[in-house]
């Protein structure tokens, strides 16, 4: 494992060889002494930074913002979990996957941009992000996973772009301030309790394309 100093922080990284292409790339695998905003470099040792590995910034309470370069294609499991002072992050269009719990328990995260191009997001990716107010789901994401925004208690509105096909179980459960969700005609399935506990939930139009809405009792209740 190697280290590099960036913005006063120490980033730990590994150089890996892609077994299919034989090309080398860098994975950021750990961080220490992180304070304020950090800009992750697009290259280290002349190799592109392709991955932010699982738990890289987990528990980094001094982290307030992060710039992810457009070389990165993957954000790993719990990469930023419990970075409790992280307040904004811009995910580049190069990212194709965000693993489960990647930004969970980031209580001050108020701004996150999920760009077109993201094709897969794991469960609980943004659970308990209490400061999020508005999110837009890109058209390239076919399914909104289970617990994706569960317990985001100040989330007010959600725009789901055409192209999304399903909303999984409890995706927005206990978003107590959620009032408005835009659901496009591409959505055909809504999982059980997808919007349970959304006490102020009043503004939603169910498109004719939806063929299945389930709750845990099999009743057609959102």
How high is the pLDDT of residue 216?
A: 52
Percentage of the chain modeled with pLDDT above 90: 78
Instruction: State the pTM of this model.
Output: 0.91
Between 113 and 71, residue with greater pLDDT: 71
Give the tens place of pLDDT for each residue, 75-130: 999 999 999 999 999 899 999 999 999 999 999 999 898 999 999 999 999 999 99
Separation of CA 11 from chain center? 22
Residue 217 has pLDDT above 60, yes or no: no
Binning pLDDT at 50, 70 and 90, where does residue 222 land? very low
How high is the pLDDT of residue 199?
A: 87
Question: How many residues does the structure list for the chain?
Answer: 222
Neighbours of 172 (CB within 10 A): 26
Give the tens place of pLDDT for each residue, 127-145: 999 999 999 999 999 999 9
Q: From residue 77, how far is each of 7, 54, 209 by CA, in Å?
A: 24, 4, 33
How high is the pLDDT of residue 15?
A: 96
Phi, psi dihedrals of residue 108, rounded to the nearest 5°: -105, 5
Query: Whose CA is closest to 172, among 125, 219, 218?
Result: 125
How high is the pLDDT of residue 205?
A: 67
DSSP states of 123-181: TTTTTT-TT--EEEE-TT--EEPTTTTTT-TT--EEEEPBTB-EE-TTTTTT-TT--EE
């Amino acid at each position: 494992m190697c280290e590099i100093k960036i913005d006063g922080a120490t980033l730990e990284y590994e150089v890996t060889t892609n077994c299919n292409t034989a090309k080398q790339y860098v994975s950021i695998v750990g961080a220490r002494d992180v304070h304020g905003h950090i800009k992750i470099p697009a290259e280290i040792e002349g190799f592109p930074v392709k991955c932010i590995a699982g738990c890289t910034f987990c528990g980094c309470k001094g982290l307030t913002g992060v710039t992810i370069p457009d070389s990165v294609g993957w954000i790993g499991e719990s990469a930023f979990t419990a970075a409790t002072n992280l307040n904004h992050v811009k995910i580049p269009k190069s990212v194709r996957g965000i693993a489960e719990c990647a930004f969970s328990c980031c209580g001050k995260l108020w701004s996150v941009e999920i760009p077109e191009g993201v094709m897969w997001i794991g469960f609980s990716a943004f659970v308990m992000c209490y400061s999020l107010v508005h999110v837009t789901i890109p058209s390239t994401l076919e399914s909104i996973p289970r617990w994706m925004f569960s317990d985001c208690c100040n989330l007010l509105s959600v725009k789901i772009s055409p192209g999304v096909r399903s909303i999984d179980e409890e995706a927005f459960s206990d978003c107590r301030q959620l009032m408005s969700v835009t659901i496009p005609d591409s959505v055909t399935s809504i999982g059980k309790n997808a919007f349970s506990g959304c006490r102020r939930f009043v503004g939603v139009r169910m498109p004719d394309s939806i063929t299945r809405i389930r709750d845990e009792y099999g009743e057609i209740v959102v």
